[in-house]
Structure 1
Amino acid sequence: MRLLAVVFAAFACFFASSSVVADDPYRYFTWTVTYGPISPLGSQQQGILINGQFPGPRLDCVTNDNIIVNVINKLDVPFLLTWNGIKQRKNSWQDGVLGTNCPIPPNSNYTYKFQTKDQIGTFTYFPSVGMQRAAGGYGALNVYQRPQIPVPYAKPDGDFTMLVGDWYKASHKALQQTLDSGSSLSFPDGLIINGAQSTFFNGDQGKTYHFRISNVGLTTSINFRIQGHMLKLVEVEGTHTLQNTYDSLDIHVGQSMSVLVTLDQAPKDYFIVFSTRFTQKVLTATGILHYSNSNSPVSGPIPAGPTYQVHWSVKQARTFRWNLTASAARPNPQGSYHYGTIPRARSIILANSAPLMNGKQRYAVDGVSFVMPDTPLKLADNFNIANVFAWDSLPIPPSGGTAVLGTPVVRFNLHDFIEIVFQNTENAIQTWHLDGYDFWVVGYGFGKWTENIRKRYNLVDAVSRHTVQVYPNGWSAILVSLDNQGMWNLRSSMWARQYLGQQFYIRVWTPEKSYSNEYDLPPNALLCGKAIGHHP
Structure 2
Amino acid sequence: MNPIRLLTSSELCLCTCFLLVLIYRGWSQLFYDWTVSYSQLAPLGVDKQVIVINGMFPGPVLYASTNDVVNVNIHNNLTEPFLMTWNGVQMRKNSWQDGVQETNCPILPGQNWTYSFQLKDQIGSFFYFPSLLLHKAAGGYGAIHLNNLPIIPIPFPQPYKDYAVLIGDWFNADYRDLRASLENGVFLPHPDGILINGLGPNQARFEFEPSATYMLRISNVGLKTSLNFRIEDHPMLLVETEGSYLIQQYYDSLDIHVGQSYSVLVTAKNQANGKSYYMVASSRFTILEHSGIGVIHYPDAAGDPVGPLPLGPGLSNYNFSIEQARSMRWDLIASAARPNPQGSYHYGTIPITRTLILENNVMVIGSKRRFTINGISFMHSDTPLKLLDYFQLNEESKYAAAAALPSSATSVVDAFYRDFFHIVFQNPLLEVQSWHIDGYNFFVVGMGWGLWDESKKAGYNIVDAVSRSTVQVYPLSWTAILMELDNLGTWNLRSQNAENWYLGQELYIRVKGVWNWLDEQSDISARDEAPIPDNVIKCGRAADL
TM over 0.5: same fold? yes
Q: Name the TM tier (shorter chain).
A: over 0.9
Whichever residue aligns with residue 467 of structure 1, its letter is: T
1:200 to 184, 196, 205: 205
Per-residue deviation, residues 315-361 of structure 1 (Å, max 9, x unmatched): 00001110111112279999951001111001110000011223322
Per-residue deviation, residues 460-500 of structure 1 (Å, max 9, x unmatched): 00010000000000000000000111101100000110010
1:363 to 362, 371, 377: 371
Determine the C-alpha separation between the residues in 2 that align with 1:219 and 1:334: 32
Per-residue deviation, residues 14-50 of structure 1 (Å, max 9, x unmatched): xxxxxxx995211111111111111111122101111
How do residues 498-517 of structure 1 correspond to structure 2 at under 5 angstroms? Answer: 498-512=501-515, 515=526, 517=528
* Pair 1:527–1:413, CA change in 2 (3 A): same
The reply on whether 1:427 has 2:427 as its aligned counterpart is no
User: After alignment, is 503-512 or 404-413 more displaced?
Assistant: 503-512
Determine the C-alpha separation between the residues in 2 that align with 1:425 and 1:128: 26
Determine the C-alpha separation between the residues in 2 that align with 1:496 and 1:176: 9
Determine the C-alpha separation between the residues in 2 that align with 1:333 and 1:528: 44
Per-residue deviation, residues 67-90 of structure 1 (Å, max 9, x unmatched): 111101111110000011111111
Q: Give yes or no for contact 2:75–2:113 (8 Å, CA) kept in 1.
A: yes
Per-residue deviation, residues 153-204 of structure 1 (Å, max 9, x unmatched): 1100111111110011111111111111122111111111111113111111
Find the residue that maps to 1:452 and give its secondary structure. Answer: helix
Whichever residue aligns with residue 260 of structure 1, its letter is: L
Determine the C-alpha separation between the residues in 1 that align with 2:307 and 2:543: 62
1:139 to 130, 138, 142: 142
The residue number in structure 2 matching 1:237 is 242
Per-residue deviation, residues 356-392 of structure 1 (Å, max 9, x unmatched): 22332210000000111120011101111113x4143
2:287 to 250, 257, 280: 280
Per-residue deviation, residues 142-162 of structure 1 (Å, max 9, x unmatched): 101121111101100111111
User: After alignment, is 214-223 or 294-303 more displaced?
Assistant: 294-303
How do residues 32-71 of structure 1 correspond to structure 2 at under 5 angstroms? Answer: 32-71=35-74
The residue number in structure 2 matching 1:116 is 119
- Structure 1 residue 511, shift from structure 2 partner: 4.3
Determine the C-alpha separation between the residues in 2 that align with 1:483 and 1:497: 28
Whichever residue aligns with residue 462 of structure 1, its letter is: A
Find the residue that maps to 1:322 and give its secondary structure. Answer: coil
The reply on whether 1:309 has 2:317 as its aligned counterpart is yes
- Structure 1 residue 300, shift from structure 2 partner: 2.4
The reply on whether 1:385 has 2:393 as its aligned counterpart is yes
How do residues 327-338 of structure 1 correspond to structure 2 at under 5 angstroms? Answer: 327-329=335-337, 337-338=345-346
- Structure 1 residue 57, shift from structure 2 partner: 0.9
Q: Give yes or no for contact 1:232–1:245 (8 Å, CA) kept in 2.
A: yes
| Alignment coverage as a number of residue pairs | 509
The reply on whether 1:27 has 2:37 as its aligned counterpart is no
Find the residue that maps to 1:497 and give its secondary structure. Answer: helix
* Pair 1:332–1:373, CA change in 2 (3 A): farther
Structure 1: gaps (5+ residues): 1-20
Whichever residue aligns with residue 193 of structure 2, its letter is: G
The residue number in structure 1 matching 2:176 is 173
Find the residue that maps to 2:380 and give its secondary structure. Answer: coil
Determine the C-alpha separation between the residues in 2 that align with 1:221 and 1:207: 30
Determine the C-alpha separation between the residues in 2 that align with 1:172 and 1:297: 33
1:444 to 443, 447, 470: 447
Q: Give yes or no for contact 1:183–1:360 (8 Å, CA) kept in 2.
A: no
* Pair 1:335–1:532, CA change in 2 (3 A): farther
Determine the C-alpha separation between the residues in 2 that align with 1:335 and 1:511: 28
Find the residue that maps to 1:512 and give its secondary structure. Answer: helix
User: After alignment, is 238-247 or 285-294 more displaced?
Assistant: 285-294
**Two-structure CA RMSD over aligned residues (Å):** 1.9
Determine the C-alpha separation between the residues in 2 that align with 1:200 and 1:391: 49
The reply on whether 1:322 has 2:327 as its aligned counterpart is no
Find the residue that maps to 1:355 and give its secondary structure. Answer: strand
Whichever residue aligns with residue 303 of structure 1, its letter is: P
- Structure 1 residue 62, shift from structure 2 partner: 1.5
How do residues 365-514 of structure 1 correspond to structure 2 at under 5 angstroms? Answer: 365-387=373-395, 389-392=396-399, 394-395=400-401, 398-399=402-403, 401-512=404-515
The residue number in structure 1 matching 2:347 is 339
Find the residue that maps to 2:52 and give its secondary structure. Answer: strand
Determine the C-alpha separation between the residues in 2 that align with 1:333 and 1:80: 36
- Structure 1 residue 213, shift from structure 2 partner: 0.5
Q: Give yes or no for contact 2:334–2:341 (8 Å, CA) kept in 1.
A: no
Structure 2: gaps (5+ residues): 1-21, 517-524
2:532 to 501, 521, 528: 521
* Pair 1:525–1:244, CA change in 2 (3 A): same
Q: Give yes or no for contact 2:417–2:514 (8 Å, CA) kept in 1.
A: no
Determine the C-alpha separation between the residues in 2 that align with 1:406 and 1:328: 39
The reply on whether 1:157 has 2:164 as its aligned counterpart is no
Determine the C-alpha separation between the residues in 1 that align with 2:464 and 2:353: 21
Determine the C-alpha separation between the residues in 1 that align with 2:190 and 2:461: 36
Determine the C-alpha separation between the residues in 1 that align with 2:279 and 2:514: 53
Determine the C-alpha separation between the residues in 1 that align with 2:424 and 2:386: 25
State the TM-score, normalized to the length of structure 2.
0.91
Determine the C-alpha separation between the residues in 1 that align with 2:464 and 2:271: 37
Q: Give yes or no for contact 1:38–1:54 (8 Å, CA) kept in 2.
A: no
Q: Give yes or no for contact 1:204–1:293 (8 Å, CA) kept in 2.
A: no
Whichever residue aligns with residue 247 of structure 2, its letter is: L
Q: Give yes or no for contact 2:226–2:258 (8 Å, CA) kept in 1.
A: yes
The reply on whether 1:223 has 2:217 as its aligned counterpart is no
The residue number in structure 1 matching 2:541 is 530
